[in-house]
Chain A
Amino acid sequence: MEPHFLAAEVSTSTSRGLTITLFLVFVAVTLAITIWASRQTKTATDFYAGGRQFSGFQNGMAIGGDYMSAASFLGIAGLIALYGYDGFLYSIGFLVAWLVALLLVAEYLRNAGRYTMADVLAFRMRQRPVRTAASASTIVVSIFYLIAQMVGAGALVSLLLGIKPDTTFLGMDADTAKVATIILVGALMIIYVIVGGMKGTTYVQIVKAFMLMTGALLMTILVLAHYKFNLSQLLGDAAAQSGKGDAFLEPGLRYGVESASASATFYSKMDLLSLGIALVLGTAGLPHILTRFYTVPTSKIARKSVLWAIGIIGTFYLFTLALGFGAAALVGGANITAQDKAGNTAAPQLAQALGVDYLGGETGGAVLLAVIAAVAFATILAVVAGLTLASSSSVAHDFYANVMRRGEASERDEVRVARISALVIGAVAIALSIFAQSLNVAFLVALAFAVAASANLPAILYSLFWRRFNTSGALWSIYGGLTAAVVLVFFSPVVSGSATAMFPDSDWHFFPLSNPGIISIPIGFLCGWIGTVISKEDDSAKYAELEVRSLTGHGAH
């Protein structure tokens, strides 16, 4: 099969109109669900935890919908399409990470906590300082992740709708369309969260997960059918069309690149290890993932939902393998980079190529492109809604109710503050995203995972499993891990001193890696240990309660 046209060239009014129609249908359906959910949302438990009535399968789908961001769908497919094997490394880290959540976190958090990550961290500690710290790291992780998603949405819209620099869409040029998209996505996520709370957000994520899985499955089947289910032939064709030959199927094109300079090679390989560790340890510390475990009635169902999530997410990443190599083989590396240098349009371009071949020519291509573009927008919306909910819950439940009001706030007040926080956080995210538009945002995702792994995970694991852990230890691990990750990224080549940096013209970097995980995660664990042993506080009675409750579910909410 000949490599196909660029998406923009055939992005006819049919395809564009269909994309918008499908997206509007998705928005209409999800808004209807959200309004329905708002009628069922009466108590704080309804707002924060969706009434804790979701089944294992429903929550598993919602976890998938919360976790599989545009970065995984478009980003990983694009990485595989351009760098072959190295893109696959990413998806493996993202999947294996779920074993940490399954074995060490999900059930115990569900048993001992109530609405937020801090419920467990502050369980046996002095409430106010620990909740303040947990709230701070929740907001840092969520805002960084949120900006990355929203800027991504802005960047995608002109590509997916085929708005070229010199053309306009509804009277908007490409730049205006980007800003409009960011505002639209932000406004929708605020509505989902304020109106629908956790219930509405969960259903949005379930619908999105279903659409994403269906779209990815359809494309995977078409790619495999094209090669008569011969994987080796698909790989061979991908390698040939990529222009990189066998190296395309081997590690080293993107991560751990070997160059003439021994130190550059060394750091590049360390960066690969650092990324690998941050991916695996970050997931179980992401606040928007942790709050999902509270939406089911018991810890056994929390376990079931993680099992479903592992199945769904694992299957999805296997699909992205076919999508990425399929795009390399059927669209071709040159055609992908011509459209988007980062490869983010590989999956939509593949959809178009497959549609042309198997679904009735140009029209079929336009239809499948439109479907996949709409799925991509749905994907972004579901993830940003989850992030906004998690951070506003933490502001209301941790900071407002327990720090400011010292636990004296009424449920009504708390939920009202949560809704206001969602509005404020959403507005801040929109504003920051508009300013961050031209910046390289890849580092924001890396930073979010690194902070989650360095600040949150050590505190969670120590809390659950270490009798001696105390307030001082919790504060040290959260602030220590948070500071280490942020400072190292600030002095890394992703912020200054390289061509792709945030500030390419300045250079204050001294930390050679773009991902801080390999240093900042051990610092987080070490700080937690030091902070603990230098303090005399030792409340083993409260640990008895936490341990018994987390393991048995006694007194669970």
Chain B
Amino acid sequence: MTTEVPSSSTERYRAVQDSEEFGRLRRTVRSFVFPMTVAFFLWYALYVLLSAYARGFMSAKIVGNINVALIFGLLQFVTTFLIAWYYSRYAAQKIDPLADKVHADLTAGDTATTTTAATDDKKSED
């Protein structure tokens, strides 16, 4: 972002959206959340499909009365917790600093163009 901020807020958002910094932020977000969504959805779908169509496999006992189906089910819990934890770490380390930077530049622009926070607040709700 340059220090020259266009006056109209629409123009400003366009400028930010086209900026290299924002492009990096978007890529950082999307390259994580889209593949991860596809991955956990397929992993969950696999589990449901196995429950529907691979009854023999799911019924195989591993230890005592604990069978593959139960382990698969518990693994869904484990992966959900792990993905949530991994995302929070990724977001804190990779996404937040970029988002904060763009946000700070935009806010600096707000003051530069004397657009006060109050009017921005009003305007945002159409």
Contact = CB atoms under 8 A, between A and B. Distances in A.
Contacts of B41: 280
B13 A545 contact: yes
Contact of B10 (A233, A249, A407, A541): A541
A251 B69 contact: yes
Contacts of B88: 303-304, 307
Contacts of A103: 32-33, 36-37, 87
A263 interface: no
B125 A114 contact: yes
B102 A236 contact: no
A310 B48 contact: no
A114 B123 CA distance: 13
Interface string A396-439: 00000010000100000000000000000000000000000000
B73 A92 contact: yes
A99 B48 contact: no
Nearest to A86: B51
17 contacts: A85-B69, A85-B73, A96-B80, A103-B33, A127-B126, A233-B65, A250-B58, A250-B69, A269-B52, A272-B48, A407-B126, A465-B30, A541-B13, A544-B10, A545-B13, A548-B17, A549-B13
A314 B29 contact: no
Contacts of B96: 300
Interface string B1-34: 0000000011001101100001001100110110
B48 A552 contact: no
Interface string B83-94: 111011001000
A316 to B, nearest CB: 11
A314 B74 CA distance: 10
Interface string A213-255: 0000000000000000001110110010000001001111001
B88 to A, nearest CB: 6
Which has the most chain A C-beta neighbours within 10 Å: B64, B77, B121? B77
A318 B16 contact: no
A553 interface: yes
Given A92-B47, A96-B76, A236-B64, 18 more contacts: A89-B51, A92-B76, A100-B37, A233-B64, A249-B69, A250-B55, A255-B51, A255-B52, A276-B44, A311-B84, A407-B126, A542-B10, A544-B16, A548-B22, A548-B106, A551-B29, A551-B99, A555-B120
Nearest to A309: B84
B38 to A, nearest CB: 11
Given A303-B91, A544-B17, A276 B48 contact: yes
Contact of B65 (A89, A235, A251): A235
Interface of A: 85, 88-89, 92-93, 95-96, 98-100, 102-104, 114, 119, 127, 231-233, 235-236, 239, 246, 249-252, 255-256, 258, 269, 272-273, 276-277, 280, 300, 303-304, 306-307, 310-311, 314, 317-318, 402, 407, 465, 541-542, 544-545, 547-549, 551-555, 557
A553 B103 contact: yes
A251 B51 contact: yes
B7 to A, nearest CB: 15
Contacts of B65: 232-233, 235-236, 239, 249
A308 B14 CA distance: 35
Contact of B121 (A93, A235, A557): A557
B80 A318 contact: no
Contacts of A280: 41, 44
B14 A544 contact: yes
B70 interface: yes
A235 B59 CA distance: 13
A310 B81 contact: yes
B13 A548 contact: yes
B59 A547 contact: no
A403 B30 CA distance: 34
